[in-house]
Structure 1
Amino acid sequence: MRLNIYKTFLVLIVMAMASACQKDLLETVPDDRLSAESFWKTERDAVLAVNAVYPNCLDAGDRLFMFDAFTDIGHTNSFFSANAQVEQNVFDASNSVIATLWTELYQGIASANFVLDNLDKIPTADQALINRVRGEAKALRAYQYIKLATRFGDVPLVTKVLSIDEGKALERTSIDTIWDFIDDELSEAADLLPVSYAPADLGRVTKGAAFALQARANLYAGRYQAAADAAEKVIDLGVYQIYPEYGTLFSYSAEGNSEVILDRQYVKSVLPNNIFGTMAPYGQLGRDGANTYVPTKALADMYTMANGKEIAEASSGFDATMPYDNRDPRLRFTLYVPGDIMPNGQVFNSLPNSGTADAVGGTFFATTTGFTLRKYVNSEDAANPTNNGINVILIRYAEVVLTYAEARIELGLIDETTVNAINEVRQRGDVNLPAIALGTSQTELRDIVRRERAVELAFEGLRLNDIRRWGIGEQVIPGAVGGIDYVEEGEVKTYVVPSFQKQFNPSRDYLWPIPYTERVLSPNLSQNPNW
């Protein structure tokens, strides 16, 4: 479906022009848009219309990386960008990043509403196809509302195409009502969607994706029984499993593997992304790119030792002079650390004063923490760093399994099923950490599953929402940004990003402000506290 979805706008314009050419020359037909009179006639129109919803609703890779840079585990490499202001929590309601995110989310909702408002106009003998399209649009719209609710709290609930006057009169809807709407929409969508698609339609929302989004939404809402139930529905489908190699999970060879529930699909030279050019080590890129978002010491320190013990435990075996050795293998599968081999075969050396292109603090283009991301950085893209075709995973089975475990932990259902869910993730073939034992306390399991989410799903765009729902922002975000640990003249040191401090005001920063421009356009929109 890669080409089907992302060529939709071009196809629609061509169809409109062809339709206009067949009409009498004295009739004026707009040639820059489609009209209701010329569209919504066939099942193909329905498919083309819902195809156009996907690019408005599925996050690109840079969006996911950006959201994690707003947390403790990531950092915006450019100090002077609007993104850096959001990371530091030193912005206001006029910030362009926040305004753009709000606009993009409601654009996605508007495109889904356009489909849902018009589907029933199509005379059809293939009701199953129309129902599938309806399910796709409902699931994608619900996906947008999950993002809105977690970022802004109460938001306008818009379920149809609005007139200008209706837009001006918008008010915010309570977050509980939004969560109810999301849950109902995803239940309805799941009933309409297939478990899988033929190869030509890969990338569309499936029944499993609808249930997985429902599990995510209910976990975020603190509705743990509903979250566990939805996650269990994904598990019971029997079509997903943990991919055995975390080290290749984000590679071209693993695209569409059994763990992927929903991804945003790309095609090199046709519909490319720029992940390699913005995330690979600068020493690999040279003039072809620069680091945009980079991991932090906070993330690196979350990975346990290979024996399963935290690095601060006295008996863990952690050696501060070799801080990244004998660790959870996911550390080096996720991050480039000093000594790793880059796709060009050269050694990544970000140590201060190393004289390499990657030396931390050496240029404005190299990493400012000494770490860079390894996920999605593939050797196939090295020759043309800005022309990548790697798909970006938006939902995968490991998240669902951890959601199931966390929800059961919060419900007090501490049994073999709960513990096995965590172990299923941490014991995949090339990770193989020691199993969590049955009998581990609820408090201990809560800490374990939260750390598992942080390291397993790092730089997949979920950390900010986790921090907010757990209420730990003031504990983990404020302060300087730490980077690599290294040895200099026999002394263990930690590189700290200079002149950069993150802040977090718990009375304000658990929600973002309603953008200033939106409140000008819709005066009935209230503002979040202390913005």
Structure 2
Amino acid sequence: MRKLARNAILLLLVGGIAIACGEKFLTLEPLSGLTEESFFSNEKDAQAALAAAYDALQKYGAYENEFLAKIEWLTVGDMRMEESPADRELEALVFNPNNSRFFQIWQRHYQGVARANTVIQRVPEIENIDPEVQEQIVAQAKFLRALFYFGLTKYFGDVPLVTREFTAADDFNVTRTPQAEVFAQIEQDLTDAANVLPDVWDQENSGRATSTAALALLAKVHLHQGEWQDAVSRSEALINKGVHALERDPGNTNSAYRNVFSKFNEQNEEIVFATQYRDTDAGGWGQDRDGHFLAARSAPRGIGPENAPFGGWSNWVPEAYFVETAFEPGDERRIGQIIGPGETHDESGFTMPDTVPPGYSSTGYICTKYWWGAEPNNSVYSSQNIPVLRYAEVLLNYAEALNEVGRTAEAVAAINEIRSRAGLEDFNSADPAEVLDQIFKERRVEMFWEMSFFTDLNRRGMFVDWIQTYRDDVIDGSLVLAPYITQPDYILLPIPTGELDRNPNLTQNPHY
């Protein structure tokens, strides 16, 4: 029987579904002797195909946070990458179509789309399955497809919209679809998901997409399009469910903020959706790994495996200008995610020297958000789940939308809920412009090294003004901005050269 080419079924059958995404429901045994016709025959098969779609979140360029954080934070100048030429280009705002980071983002997001399409198309055809379970599996795949397409369109603009499984007979030279149509499909998928998925899953199924995750992402999609009232409505629908709240308990950490990210508190009520990982070194150095490198990349280089996976690499470090100017005095988000000279990382007991060697950090600072000490079963990887959507961002999105529809006092209240958790005094203003500015100041420190900041500045047309105000190498004139940064109202990343070479029907974005 001829196998399908370049799609999720090929990945599933050839790869044997040897997938492990972290939680029990995503940990599957390898399968063999399968054909396309025999695979989709029962609930177990459907769950395995869905696990493959979840597994796509873990890949480089998807929602394991390495590449997305580089786009979101190297560009604004708050984070430094020590080694990779591709990442140093991003930091210098050199958007090169040959940059492997853009290719990985494009490729891995479409891999996720393909796997979700397989589930959405094939699972409804299964007869030997509980109808409610069947509907929930499809709804989860729709959430994942929407998440992957949102990542694609927010970075690249018009992108090919494919909503079915491709076969070897199909023409793969698809054209770009107008962004408005892509957003319409995303909204439909998320609406379907929100209407079907439960608000919470039991412990056995924790980590799956929920109705609240669909609503949170839907609010972001409306925000991205400037559909303020829709963003308010979706945010309020989520908030009124009463499922999520800011983490207020510091637990065994130095602050409630830090406890949000603790690997020992991964199912806290602030987490709306997260990429799941497992406590094992399985999978080697490639895309099949079960953990991530964020802890190793965060910790000071060479401090030993007793303190950090792989002994620490310190590939990525916070810029000193960011650390020393972005945080208000007493802001617990500073100690909750950053250590500097003479400060101690509580979980490992490691103390930074008063004079920090360049090998530890070229800026003198380390981000600890994803570093929680040694991993007992991992020499290289971290098993910590990576938040994709959390309630603090829901509140910031809600505040921004409220401010735009004239409900500024309520927007300020949402801001102050976040500031209160950080140990700060209330912010007070009735000026919508001041409120918007404060929202983005809060985003900067609340969401540091997570998956959205450049995108938020970009959608508001604020990116250039922001870096001219808050990025020191732009302020002093040592970094000259290219036309693709300064000219468009919305900055698009270049379509990867490799994709243009493979598909003559794709066109490049302007200014590249």
Match of 1:471 in 2: 461
- Secondary structure of the 1:395 match is strand
Which digits, 9 at most, give the CA deviation of each residue in 1:170-218, with x for residues without a partner? 1111112211211111001111111111111110000110101101111
Is residue 425 of structure 2 the alignment partner of residue 434 of structure 1?
yes
- Secondary structure of the 1:513 match is coil
Which digits, 9 at most, give the CA deviation of each residue in 1:325-348, with x for residues without a partner? x43121121211222113543431
- Secondary structure of the 1:453 match is helix
User: Is the CA contact 1:228–1:404 (under 8 Å) kept in the aligned structure 2?
Assistant: yes
In the alignment, the residues of structure 2 paired with residue 410 and residue 297 of structure 1 have an alpha-carbon distance, to the nearest angstrom, of 33
Judged with a 3 Å threshold, the aligned counterparts in structure 2 of structure 1 residues 198 and 298 are, in CA distance, closer, same or farther, namely same
Is residue 436 of structure 2 the alignment partner of residue 413 of structure 1?
no
User: How far apart are 1:74 and its partner, in Å?
Assistant: 3.3
Match of 1:2 in 2: 22
Is residue 298 of structure 2 the alignment partner of residue 279 of structure 1?
yes
Code of the aligned partner of 2:343: D
1:57-72 mapped onto 2 (5 Å cutoff): 57=57, 59-72=63-76
User: How far apart are 1:253 and its partner, in Å?
Assistant: 2.9
Aligned residues: 464
User: Is the CA contact 2:207–2:273 (under 8 Å) kept in the aligned structure 1?
Assistant: yes
User: Is the CA contact 1:369–1:482 (under 8 Å) kept in the aligned structure 2?
Assistant: no
User: Is the CA contact 1:334–1:375 (under 8 Å) kept in the aligned structure 2?
Assistant: yes
Code of the aligned partner of 2:278: V
User: Is the CA contact 1:42–1:124 (under 8 Å) kept in the aligned structure 2?
Assistant: yes
Choose from 274, 283, 292 the match for 1:263.
274
User: How far apart are 1:404 and its partner, in Å?
Assistant: 0.7
Code of the aligned partner of 1:475: D
Code of the aligned partner of 2:500: R
Code of the aligned partner of 2:69: F
In the alignment, the residues of structure 2 paired with residue 242 and residue 333 of structure 1 have an alpha-carbon distance, to the nearest angstrom, of 15
Judged with a 3 Å threshold, the aligned counterparts in structure 2 of structure 1 residues 138 and 298 are, in CA distance, closer, same or farther, namely farther
Choose from 253, 275, 291 the match for 2:314.
291
The share of aligned pairs that are identical, in percent, is 29
Code of the aligned partner of 2:390: R
1:452-491 mapped onto 2 (5 Å cutoff): 452-477=442-467
In the alignment, the residues of structure 1 paired with residue 426 and residue 23 of structure 2 have an alpha-carbon distance, to the nearest angstrom, of 43
In the alignment, the residues of structure 1 paired with residue 469 and residue 408 of structure 2 have an alpha-carbon distance, to the nearest angstrom, of 36
Match of 2:12 in 1: none
Match of 1:331 in 2: 334
Unaligned runs of 5+ in 2: 1-20, 249-255, 283-289
In the alignment, the residues of structure 2 paired with residue 479 and residue 190 of structure 1 have an alpha-carbon distance, to the nearest angstrom, of 39
User: How far apart are 1:53 and its partner, in Å?
Assistant: 0.2
Unaligned runs of 5+ in 1: 18-33, 306-325, 484-495
User: How far apart are 1:110 and its partner, in Å?
Assistant: 0.4
User: Is the CA contact 2:23–2:276 (under 8 Å) kept in the aligned structure 1?
Assistant: no
Which digits, 9 at most, give the CA deviation of each residue in 1:480-512, with x for residues without a partner? 9769xxxxxxxxxxxx9xx98474532368111
- Secondary structure of the 1:452 match is helix
User: Is the CA contact 1:40–1:46 (under 8 Å) kept in the aligned structure 2?
Assistant: yes
User: How far apart are 1:5 and its partner, in Å?
Assistant: 5.4
Judged with a 3 Å threshold, the aligned counterparts in structure 2 of structure 1 residues 167 and 148 are, in CA distance, closer, same or farther, namely farther
Match of 2:498 in 1: 517
Code of the aligned partner of 2:323: A
In the alignment, the residues of structure 2 paired with residue 285 and residue 397 of structure 1 have an alpha-carbon distance, to the nearest angstrom, of 35
In the alignment, the residues of structure 2 paired with residue 213 and residue 341 of structure 1 have an alpha-carbon distance, to the nearest angstrom, of 36
Which digits, 9 at most, give the CA deviation of each residue in 1:305-343, with x for residues without a partner? 3xxxxxxxxxxxxxxxxxxxx431211212112221135
User: How far apart are 1:378 and its partner, in Å?
Assistant: 1.2
Match of 1:390 in 2: 384
Judged with a 3 Å threshold, the aligned counterparts in structure 2 of structure 1 residues 159 and 302 are, in CA distance, closer, same or farther, namely farther
Is residue 174 of structure 2 the alignment partner of residue 173 of structure 1?
no
- Secondary structure of the 1:148 match is helix
User: Is the CA contact 2:81–2:317 (under 8 Å) kept in the aligned structure 1?
Assistant: yes
Code of the aligned partner of 1:420: A
Q: What is the TM-score with the length of structure 2 in the denominator?
A: 0.84
Match of 1:102 in 2: 106
